[in-house]
A and B are shown apart, each in its own frame.
Chain A
């Protein structure tokens, strides 16, 4: 990314700008190519782009039929995910939007019928085009404990619901949301403003994306005490905001590992307070006073010195790329050794992450989650002779298993890694987990 051409580089900003003018199909293709070319890459940027795109998709959809909306969103979502399967937030946002539509549809239905849960269960299922047959099956068997197994056996695709299974049983009596998955709306076409309500919901998601860092930062004082030595890694805005919030009240020391080949420039800029010239992050919004301006001592170290310093560190605070339902996380490369070193030194590891990064995906194959980056960052072109002879690797992400993490702080509060599945099931409906 050469600086002079920066304003011309397609990215989140240019995409959002073009979203208003371009026809919707062009926008979809546009985002797909941006994702494919990795011109939108931070998880938040991806999430924002997806949310805005889906908002336009829905507002362009001239129907108030929920099943049609779901179908449309699903098809767009599938394409987006296929464009960049490792960017899990895209799928997350699509799932949230799908859940929104379903909720609205159900609310409508509930309002019309004002029926109890039991009543709705006895309601005859209306077959829906494009609906996953497993859902209907699932919905019907919801009550009994032995049925999910059979449905799993019948539909390997719903292996994902393994995780949410205990929850659905717990919450069955309480929450109407998880109990009646399939929409019964087609019979009631008069639900006039379902689209408007979904759009409102998406706007809320977009607002959430904008506020999530501040919401997380609100918990900072609960976790950082005075005179603490905190180690962090990469230039994550979430972590910076979190630390800044605490810096307003307390004095502590931050040790910042520079995450060399992939993120060191941004990290250097972050620690020294130089304005990030990265236009993909909406720079006006993300620019802030650096920690050092608050009188916080920041010590920048190379990644290799992490182990040596870990014995002095009180807490490790990490940002992440996405969080998986099992409590593991996919974070920028180098995070795993840091978390591991912290574990060896009995130092608590805290991961700050917006809920939107929480993905219902269970990592059966960690390798598939890892993305490899530009090897010229590892060995530059001046060593071209060397590059020809050896295999240079530059992984962008690390999978960090859940046991290395002590605490997650999301915009909903602090959670143990073992509790994440519950938040996952709160946010995504299981019929949307694999849409």
Chain B
């Protein structure tokens, strides 16, 4: 956020600032910005524009008096002063370079902007002594440039420092690169369908293990359809590498799910088993057919089979508890409802995705009796439950259930009630089985953006009319040109600080970390039954089934 926004300030301020001695600026300011930017942890952007406005006033005056002297002749400067100037300049340059280097991939565009404007500004600064015929009007721009130049540096440096300790130490191995934020920088080999899918997955538009698997396969089908074998190579050899570009791109958007991995593996196997002598069009048709069969066999039909057999487990009068929004559980419940069974569903949901809301809506629209509570209500929801149905992200080879974070708590609560244990039934396609094993939720997991935990929209904005306008105003400006929007984001920022979450500035708050993990591992003893398209199994049967299904 701050990354992309900060360099964006540069274009704003550098043009008017052009003529003024940046050297002097840095001379007077060099130690100032450091100390200044340190105590301005909140909002980053918030205090900045305000500061140049008033805080810079004194330096401006100094500049005004100093500028003529400067203009009169830089030889008038004492050697010590010159030295200081040079030193400051060097420091500024170095800091700038560092800042540029530190811009992570996400802010690539921003970094480029910073570079582009930053360097010329610096150059101008060096010969600024001559150009110091600064009019009174020009003075206005001066401080801004100084600050705009300096703040990104120090802010970026600071940000870097922060970024390091914002990673929760225990999960350090899981913080890979940031999720991709734009399609910029994606390889030219990446098919548009895949580009779009990547962003959809990142934004949880396509969410859920099966959905991601199907969407990936469909996108790959289009890739294959659009594919032509280059000269001098065969389809079975080259298509795999072509696909792996797509796969790499997808995995930078969001780490691949187990089901995606399994599907991709199967697809690659199918590609490599194509005889090189087969003509390209025929091979492509075969592959597309393979994908279609894979989807229907492993997911669409499998889901129907699972829903059918899991629905049989639901009896009249049951109270079914489920966690978050699993598509297969939804299908199961709807199937059971269509069979005329009378039961109640209790959905437990969690922050920050609230996947259960959609499930609740679908079920309620279908006419089921739905009760909805959040994680804090687990003990209450489970009290009168008779069955727990859970979806899965994956089943590990040691029989553990790897699913949306919180699942383990629900399964545990079901096993808590002394004596009468509530059966916990997992619905899972075999395509989600993996030969990986997991003991805890820390070694294998996925870290989502911690900013998702910050409550973003203050609810009063719904009713308060002027506020959305104010909030909406900076948006387009930011999108178009971050230029003049300097003050307005400030306002909206402070406004959101006031009534928004106190966490808005968590990245600037030392020692505060937010952790947003996606999955947890439910011990095998909490799972009574795994319903798959191959039948209902105990969790210990997972490795066997996995072997069978991969050997087929």
| A binding-site residues for B, Cβ under 8 Å | 2-3, 258-262, 264-265, 268-269, 271-274, 291-293, 295-309, 311-312, 332-334, 336-337, 340-341, 344, 370, 378-383, 385-386, 389-395, 398-399
Contact = CB atoms under 8 A, between A and B. Distances in A.
Interface in B498-524: 499, 501-503, 505-506, 509-517, 519-521
Interface string B345-374: 000001110000100110011000111111
Contact of A333 (B170, B377, B453, B462): B377
A141 B515 CA distance: 61
B351 A393 contact: no
Contact of B351 (A303, A390, A398): A303
B408 interface: yes
Contact of A304 (B373, B406, B442): B406
A272 B503 contact: yes
Given A272-B503, A308-B441, A312-B442, A303 B372 contact: no
Interface in B398-446: 404-406, 408-409, 412-413, 416, 440-442, 445
B470 to A, nearest CB: 17
22 contacts: A258-B351, A260-B350, A264-B455, A271-B512, A272-B506, A297-B511, A300-B453, A300-B514, A301-B517, A302-B375, A302-B405, A303-B351, A307-B409, A307-B412, A311-B442, A312-B170, A334-B376, A337-B412, A391-B370, A393-B381, A398-B379, A398-B380
Nearest to A336: B379
B442 A337 contact: no
Nearest to A263: B376
B501 A268 contact: yes
Contact of A380 (B380, B453, B459): B459
Contact of B373 (A2, A271, A297, A393): A393
Nearest to A295: B511
Given A269-B502, A300-B503, A390-B371, A305 B406 contact: yes
Nearest to A383: B357
Contacts of A392: 371-373
Nearest to A259: B376
A123 to B, nearest CB: 49
Contacts of A306: 409
A295 to B, nearest CB: 6
B513 A260 contact: no
Contacts of B380: 333, 370, 393, 395, 398
Contacts of A389: 361, 364-365, 370
B503 A391 contact: no
A256 B516 CA distance: 12
A272 B375 contact: no
A266 to B, nearest CB: 9
Interface of B: 165, 168-170, 350-352, 357, 360-361, 364-365, 369-381, 404-406, 408-409, 412-413, 416, 440-442, 445, 453, 455, 459-460, 462, 499, 501-503, 505-506, 509-517, 519-521
Given A268-B503, A386-B361, 7 more contacts: A260-B350, A305-B516, A305-B517, A378-B373, A389-B361, A393-B373, A395-B373
B408 A379 contact: no
B132 to A, nearest CB: 45
Contacts of B499: 3
A299 B375 contact: no
Contacts of A258: 351, 453
Contacts of B370: 389-391
A337 B416 CA distance: 9
Contact of B412 (A264, A269, A334, A344): A344
A308 B521 CA distance: 7
A379 B503 CA distance: 21
A309 B169 CA distance: 12
Nearest to A334: B376
Given A304-B350, A398-B379, A297 B513 contact: yes
Contacts of B441: 307-309, 311
A308 B405 contact: yes
A260 B511 contact: no
Contacts of B357: 379, 383, 386
Given A272-B506, A272-B512, A307 B408 contact: yes
A341 B412 contact: yes
**Most chain B CB inside 10 Å of its own CB: which residue of A265, A300, A383, A398:** A300
A56 to B, nearest CB: 37
Nearest to B382: A337
A308 B501 contact: no
A253 to B, nearest CB: 8
Nearest to B501: A268
B513 A274 contact: no
Contacts of B375: 260, 302-304, 334, 337
B378 A302 contact: no
Contacts of B405: 302, 304-305, 308
A246 to B, nearest CB: 15
**Most chain B CB inside 10 Å of its own CB: which residue of A265, A273, A382, A386:** A386
Given A272-B509, A300-B514, A308-B520, A337 B379 contact: yes
Nearest to A270: B502
A145 B185 CA distance: 85
A261 B509 contact: no
A295 B509 CA distance: 11
Given A301-B515, A337-B378, A394-B377, A268 B372 contact: no
- 7 smallest CB-CB distances across A and B, nearest first, come from A304-B406, A308-B441, A389-B364, A334-B376, A308-B520, A292-B511, A333-B376
Given A297-B511, A378-B374, A395-B380, A386 B352 contact: no
Contacts of A378: 372-374
A340 B381 CA distance: 15
Contacts of B440: 308, 311
Contacts of A293: 511
Contacts of A398: 376, 379-380
A296 B408 CA distance: 28
**Most chain A CB inside 10 Å of its own CB: which residue of B352, B360, B499:** B360
A390 B505 contact: no
B352 A302 contact: yes
B330 to A, nearest CB: 14
A265 B521 CA distance: 28
A394 B381 CA distance: 10
Given A304-B405, A311-B442, A299 B360 contact: no
A66 B416 CA distance: 49
